[in-house]
């Protein structure tokens, strides 16, 4: 039953992502096909719908490939360096979270686990993904505190998302005119503000509590839930973060540096494609796209991310053609996949002989926790 539920969860997300990708590719290909035929003197409106679609898928892929190959090699390499910096900062950030729980891992070991997790987050779906593997390896390395190890992964993700949302909100201030002029952009901006408020509330309640004061029976109710002892232990682990006075400031500082690298990666690719986009605009557009595509809608945000790049970069103040915006998104994702390949190499060359049993054990651990 659980397997059927997991298959269904993966299937509908793949279907949604696939439909979004087909939609955005088709829309862009139609534009390229129309442009190509009108340049030859063919009246687009006089063609049947079938002829239009045939022209779109004849000319569109070729034009998209031509745009992708226009990227400057130096800019592409620089974008990969920024992607590597993002992974490095995520390693340092997770180590900081682990230390609060008394889980000591070397920099090399933490980097190895993070790269393997990056590989699984990019290629696998469901409960055997990268975050779960990070929690499993952390627990196995210490031989204790399995619940606390899982909590470190959740807290790392939670604070990373909160920092990105906060970063996006701060970057809205110098771009208020741009956001206010377009209803879709304004709607996305308000959605980010609401997400930040919700995420901030979860952080406060997790680290410092407050529900047990107006409702004294809340802790008793928690203990009576299935796996109540583990839930209470996880809650106590979260409280430990709130007792560390410098922890939140350090996490935000590292996360903000990571967020800047995310934007710089896109700026490098945009320059490599010859796109003239104001950096101030990208400093608000990129974090908005990252936050929304991080929501569990489609695997790795496929389709959602591409549509958002085309929508947000297509406004008249920025005026980036849809094909170029799609190319920018695809190149950024390709950079992430290249680093995933490195994680896959690390995983395959590990000394443990039976990787599948490790993943199965990690899945079992998740059910226990």
pLDDT in tens, 204-233: 888 887 655 555 555 565 555 565 566 777
Same domain, 132 and 35: no
Total domains, the chain: 2
Residues 109 and 59 in one domain: no
352 backbone φψ class: left, alpha, beta (φ>0; ψ -120 to 50): beta
pLDDT digits 0-9 by tens, 123-140: 554 334 567 777 777 777
Q: Do residues 321 and 28 lie in contact, with contact meaning Cβ atoms separated by under 8 Å?
A: no
- What is this structure's pTM? 0.79
Encoded tokens for 31: 């534009």
Final residue in a domain of this structure, among 34, 68, 102: 68
DSSP state of 71: S
Separation CA 8–CA 367 (nearest Å): 19
The contacts of residue 256 (CB under 8 Å, 6+ apart) are 163, 167
pLDDT band at 295; cut points 50, 70, 90: confident
Residues 281 and 337 placed together within one structural domain of the fold: yes
- Tell me: do 28 and 126 sit in the same domain: no
Q: Are residues 145 and 270 in the same domain?
A: yes
**23 and 140 assigned to the same domain:** no
Under the phi-then-psi rule, with left for phi > 0, alpha for psi from -120 to 50, and beta for the rest, what region is 301? left
Residues 158 and 216 in one domain: yes
Which residues span the domain enclosing 22? 2-68
From the CB of residue 79, how many other CB atoms can be counted at a distance below 10 Å?
24
pLDDT confidence of residue 26: 72
Assess contact for 232 and 53: CB atoms under 8 A. Answer: no
* Residue 194 shares a structural domain with residue 64: no
Angle CA 74–255–184, to nearest 5: 80
Q: Are residues 23 and 45 located together in one domain of the fold? A: yes
pLDDT at position 65, please? 79
Instruction: Check residue 356 and give its pLDDT.
Output: 41
Shared domain for 359 and 268, answered yes or no, is yes
% of the chain with per-residue pLDDT over 70: 76
């Amino acid at each position: 039953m659980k397997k059927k539920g997991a298959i269904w969860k993966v299937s509908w997300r793949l279907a949604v992502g696939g439909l979004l990708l087909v939609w955005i590719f088709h829309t862009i290909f139609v534009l390229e096909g129309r442009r190509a035929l009108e340049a030859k003197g063919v009246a687009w409106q006089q063609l049947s719908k079938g002829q239009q679609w045939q022209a779109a898928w004849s000319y569109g892929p070729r034009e998209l490939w031509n745009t992708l190959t226009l990227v400057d090699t130096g800019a592409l390499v620089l974008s990969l360096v920024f992607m590597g910096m993002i992974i490095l900062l995520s390693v340092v950030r997770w180590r900081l979270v682990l230390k609060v729980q008394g889980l000591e891992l070397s920099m090399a070991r933490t980097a190895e686990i993070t790269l393997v997790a990056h590989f699984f987050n990019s290629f696998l779906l469901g409960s055997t993904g990268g975050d779960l593997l990070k929690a499993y390896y952390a627990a196995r390395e210490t031989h204790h505190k399995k619940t606390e190890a899982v909590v470190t992964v959740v807290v790392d993700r939670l604070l990373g998302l909160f920092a990105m949302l906060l970063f996006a909100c701060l970057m809205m201030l110098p771009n208020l005119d741009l956001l206010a002029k377009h209803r879709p952009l304004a709607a996305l901006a308000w959605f980010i503000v609401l997400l930040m408020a919700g995420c901030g509330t979860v952080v406060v309640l997790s680290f410092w509590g407050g529900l047990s004061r107006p409702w004294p029976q809340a802790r008793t109710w928690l203990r009576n839930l299935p796996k109540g002892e583990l839930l209470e232990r996880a809650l106590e682990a979260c409280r430990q973060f709130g007792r560390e006075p410098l922890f939140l400031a350090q996490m935000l500082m590292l996360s903000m540096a990571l967020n800047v690298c995310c934007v710089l990666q896109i700026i490098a690719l945009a320059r490599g494609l010859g796109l003239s986009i104001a950096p101030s605009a990208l400093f608000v557009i990129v974090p908005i796209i990252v936050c929304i595509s991080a929501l569990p809608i489609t695997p790795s945000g496929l389709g959602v991310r591409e549509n958002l790049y085309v929508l947000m970069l297509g406004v008249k103040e920025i005026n980036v053609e849809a094909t170029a915006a799609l190319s920018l998104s695809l190149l950024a994702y390709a950079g992430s996949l290249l680093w995933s390949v490195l994680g896959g190499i690390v995983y395959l060359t590990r000394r443990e002989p039976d990787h599948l049993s490790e993943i199965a054990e990690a899945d079992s651990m998740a059910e226990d926790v």
